[in-house]
Amino acid sequence: MFRAFLRKALLLSLPLYVISCGGGSSPETFGDMDSVVVTLNSIIPFNLQSDILIRKDANRDGICDYIAFQNDYIVAEFKSSPKFISENITYSPVYVYKYVIEFYNASPQNKCEKNPTCRNIFSKPYEFTASFSIQPPIVQVQEDQIEIIESIQKATVLVIPSDWKEVLMNYCYDISSNCIYNVKVKFHAIEIYSGKENELTGTFTVQFGDFPQGNSMDAYENIISTPDDSCILF
């Protein structure tokens, strides 16, 4: 959490962006509400390796007895900051109720894009329901100082449903298939107290292939996955 101590006489009721210094992000990452400004800080993993199938060797004879398919997720981190600094403002939580993802081909050698059935999966945007809140920041006034505690919220969201992989496994079987996409994810949010709506947009990259480690999210947020067995597909 970020803490800043500021002179009350100079800063009371001033817009936050006036007193911010250094850095900055693309305007697309900001959701400007009535009482708060919400920022999409990061998406993890930024480069997602999507495992198209999970190999399972039930009797340990070296031959795969069955395969399974697994969802892929990202973790989005949001930050809520006060839009204005004042002891007289009630800062609002922000509710995220849906998100939309769009895919853009990132490789001219993409084998999925060369087949109409596979290409059709990524030819349109997908809308998913969300249901999580970003809590408001805390502003505390003590004598001649103001303490600002920004709120951080993480959300794990589905981006690749497992049923897509029943098609993808026929075209994106290894890294040389170049099934790589740039992905835009747009979160739709509403400020609870004011009813004001805004959007927060982020991007990441996904590559589809038969990756032995399973879902690459494991290294980041301990999402349960089913690693591949060492077996041969027939």
Q: Which of 92, 91, 121 is nearest to 105 (CA)?
A: 121
Note the pLDDT of residue 192: 96
pLDDT tens profile 83-106: 988 878 899 999 999 999 999 999
pLDDT tens profile 164-182: 999 999 999 888 999 999 9
Note the pLDDT of residue 172: 94
Could you give the angle at the alpha carbon of 205 between the alpha carbons of 204 and 207, nearest 5°? 150
Per DSSP, the three-state class of 211 is coil
Note the pLDDT of residue 58: 82
Yes or no: say if 118 and 139 are a contact pair by the CB < 8 Å rule.
no
Q: Which amino acid is at 162?
A: S
Q: Which amino acid is at 7?
A: R
| Distance between CA atoms of residues 226 and 77, nearest Å | 25
pTM more than 0.75? yes
Spell out, as residue ranges, where the chain has pLDDT lower than 50.
Answer: 1-28, 218-220, 222, 224
**Which segments of the chain does DSSP mark as H helices, in order?**
8-11, 16-19, 116-121, 165-168, 218-221
Across-strand partners of 138? 149
